[in-house]
């Protein structure tokens, strides 16, 4: 895992939401595998913010699942939030009645012009200009 700010390239910058990792961990979705394959084909660059790390590791209790998560996260880029992220997230939460974590995830996507890969379209589709990947 590298800590970077996004680079300009022809690949789609893609932030992966916690729901994708949880579904993979539970064995109910192949979405993460598809995303990582797209990264191997150099179609996307996968970014993970600290809020996704927090949400995922908060729910993962077994050492085996933690080790697997760390291996997967090593294949992605870490994206930091900024002061502006907090401002935008606050507006999103207030205007669209979206929870703390999802507001930060949406704000990071908007701030960096990322697409968002999620299995939780219910909240995210409310945010104007947010680009949902594969939808």
Residue 45's φ and ψ, nearest 5 degrees, are: -115, 125
Q: Where are the domains positioned within the chain?
A: 11-132
- Residue 134, phi-psi category: left (phi > 0), alpha (psi -120 to 50), beta (remainder): left
Residues 78 and 1: beta-carbon distance below 8 Å: yes
Q: Token pair for residue 27?
A: 């064995």
11-132 fold? Rossmann fold (3.40.50)
Give the per-residue pLDDT at 7: 52
Residues 35 and 135: beta-carbon distance below 8 Å: no
- Helical spans, DSSP H, in 60-99: 63-73, 83-96
From CA 7, how far away is CA 62, in angstroms rounded? 35
Give the per-residue pLDDT at 46: 96
Give the per-residue pLDDT at 71: 87
Tell me which DSSP letter residue 27 carries.
T
pLDDT tens digits in sequence order for the chain, 135 residues long: 545 555 556 899 999 999 998 898 888 988 999 999 999 999 999 999 999 999 888 888 889 888 888 888 888 999 999 999 999 999 999 999 999 999 999 999 999 999 999 999 988 999 999 999 985
Residues 20 and 116: beta-carbon distance below 8 Å: no
Give the number of residues written for the chain.
135
Give the per-residue pLDDT at 116: 98
How many CA atoms within 13 Å lie on the side-chain side of 131? Answer: 13
């Amino acid at each position: 895992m590298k800590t970077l700010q996004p680079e300009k390239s022809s690949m789609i910058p893609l932030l992966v939401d916690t729901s994708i990792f949880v579904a993979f961990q539970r064995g109910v979705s192949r979405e993460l595998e598809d995303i990582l394959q797209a990264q191997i084909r150099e179609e996307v660059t996968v970014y993970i913010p600290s809020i996704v790390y927090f949400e995922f590791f908060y729910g993962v209790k077994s050492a085996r699942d933690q080790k697997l998560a760390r291996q997967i996260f090593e294949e992605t880029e870490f994206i930091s939030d900024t002061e502006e992220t907090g401002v935008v997230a606050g507006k999103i939460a207030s205007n669209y009645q979206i929870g703390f974590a999802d507001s930060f995830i949406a704000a990071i996507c908007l701030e960096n012009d990322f697409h968002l890969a999620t299995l939780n379209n219910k909240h995210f589709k409310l945010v104007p200009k947010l680009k949902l990947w594969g939808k």
